[in-house]
Structure 1
Amino acid sequence: MATTGRPRDARVDAAILDATRELLARDGYAGLTMDAVAVRAGIGKAAIYRRHASKQEMVFAAAIYGPELPVRPDTGSLAGDLTALVREIVGHLTSPAASAAVLGLLADLGPDSDLGARFRERFVSRELVDVESLLDRAVARGELPPPPSRPDASTVHALATGPVFALLYLQHTPPDGLPERLGPMVAAALTATRSPSDPPDASGG
Structure 2
Amino acid sequence: DAGLDDAILVAARQLLDEVGYARVTMDATAARAGTSKAAIYRRYQSKAELLFAAGVHGSAPVPPADTGSLRGDLFALGQRIRSDMSTPAAREVAPHVVAEISRAPNVADRLRSVFVATERAEIDAILDRAVRRGELCAPPNTATVHRMLGGAMFFTIMVIAEPIDDAELGRVVDVLAAGLGVADRSAAHDI
2:77 to 59, 78, 85: 85
Q: 1:75 deviation in Å? A: 0.9
What SS does the corresponding residue of 1:50 show, helix, strand or coil?
A: helix
1:179 to 154, 169, 184: 169
Give the percent of matched residue pairs that are identical in Structure 1 and Structure 2: 39
Is contact 2:56-2:84 (8 Å) kept?
yes
Q: TM-score by structure 1 length? A: 0.82
Cα deviations across residues 108-159 of structure 1 (Å, max 9, x unaligned)? 123971221122112211211221121121122222222xxx4200000000
1:62 to 54, 61, 64: 54
Looking at structure 1, the residues matched to 13 and 21 of structure 2 have their Cα atoms a distance apart, in angstroms, of 10
Cα deviations across residues 58-113 of structure 1 (Å, max 9, x unaligned)? 11221122333211111111111110111111111112211110110122123971
Residue 14 (1) aligns with residue 6 (2): yes
Aligned to 2:156: 167
State the aligned residue count: 190
Q: TM-score by structure 2 length? A: 0.87
Counterpart amino acid of residue 188 in structure 1: A
Q: Which deviates the most, 41-50 or 157-166? A: 41-50
- The change in CA–CA distance for 1:136 and 1:160 in structure 2 (over 3 A counts) is same
Looking at structure 1, the residues matched to 143 and 176 of structure 2 have their Cα atoms a distance apart, in angstroms, of 14
Counterpart amino acid of residue 21 in structure 1: R
Aligned to 1:45: 37
- The change in CA–CA distance for 1:32 and 1:112 in structure 2 (over 3 A counts) is closer
Looking at structure 1, the residues matched to 119 and 152 of structure 2 have their Cα atoms a distance apart, in angstroms, of 17
Aligned to 2:146: 157
Looking at structure 1, the residues matched to 33 and 46 of structure 2 have their Cα atoms a distance apart, in angstroms, of 17
Q: Which deviates the most, 81-90 or 172-181? A: 172-181
Is contact 2:5-2:59 (8 Å) kept?
no
- 4+ residue runs over 4 A deviation: none
Residue 121 (1) aligns with residue 113 (2): yes
Is contact 1:128-1:153 (8 Å) kept?
yes
What SS does the corresponding residue of 1:192 show, helix, strand or coil?
A: helix
Residue 73 (1) aligns with residue 62 (2): no
The unaligned stretches of length 5 or more in structure 1 are: 1-7
Q: 1:194 deviation in Å? A: 5.1
Aligned to 1:5: none
Structure having the larger proportion of residues in helix: 2
